[in-house]
Amino acid sequence: MTFTRYAIYFAPPAEAGWTKFATQWLGWDMETGQAVAHLDIAGVDVSSVTEVPRKYGLHATMKPPFRLADGQSFDGLHAACAEFAATRAPVVLDGLEIARLGRFLALRPVGDTTDLNALAAGCVRELDAFRAPAPQSELDRRRGAGLTPVQEANLVQWGYPYVIEAFRFHITLSGHLNKPTLSKVQNTLEDWLAPLLPNPFQIKDLALVGEAEDGCFHMIHRYALSG
């Protein structure tokens, strides 16, 4: 399979009950590379609610999607990811909670995120040699959202505004919603998903994923955090 972009994700363990629910909720399974039928939940148009994040799969971004730089290869990226993961320890947090981030819903970590933020920053910095510079059109689009000075500096240096100091770990569960829909969907997820969430929440591996010609992200390899 040919990939146009790569990214480093935290991908929840496929066998976990909360992963299975949230994968059906989104409607795309990165592990199998297949669309999955949405859950039938009365009063919620799940397909519409999840249309925007669906193609990315169930994940938290650790290093945002990037094109491979000239002179770099997939084999080199794969080796570098394995080497990076071998030097990092697993991260344990108190749990996950359903939260509003502006007008969308996501899972956010509960507890001290110092180690988690350091892991994400390491992904961004130490694997950046594999990232081709973002095209000007992409930079302009990012700036259109209105960036803080820190976010602008990140965009210039790392190709994405919301990294390093501006990073906030989250597992996206919806697109932007109006207030009534936001409340309804949050209540639905509190009923269906919240009871399944892990306690504690552990990050034991990182995933290299790729965006294929179908526009969706596919699992390529998981690397155990074994440092």
In the chain, where are the structural domains located?
3-224
Position 103 scores a pLDDT of: 95
CA dist 106 to 59, 68, 73, 103, 167, Å? 10, 28, 33, 10, 14
Output the pLDDT for position 1. Answer: 86
* Helices and strands, counts by H and E, the chain: 7, 11
Task: Read off the pLDDT of residues 142-152 as tens digits, 9 standing for 90 and up.
Answer: 999 899 999 99
Q: What is the pLDDT of residue 145?
A: 84
- The β-bridge relationship of strands 217-224 and 104-110 is unpaired
User: What is residue 53's predicted lDDT score, i.e. its pLDDT?
Assistant: 97
Residue stretches of the chain with pLDDT short of 70:
none
d(CA 108, CA 97): 5
CATH topology of domain 3-224: Cyclic Phosphodiesterase; Chain: A, (3.90.1140)
What's the half-sphere exposure (Cβ side, CA atoms, 13 Å) at 22?
A: 32
Task: Fill in the amino acid letter for 174.
Answer: S
pLDDT number for residue 227: 86
Rounded to 5°, the CA angle 70-72-77 comes to 145
pLDDT digits (tens, 9 = 90+) for 34-61: 999 998 999 999 999 999 999 999 999 9
**Which has the closest alpha carbon to 57: 34, 32, 26?**
26
**Amino acid, res. 205:** D
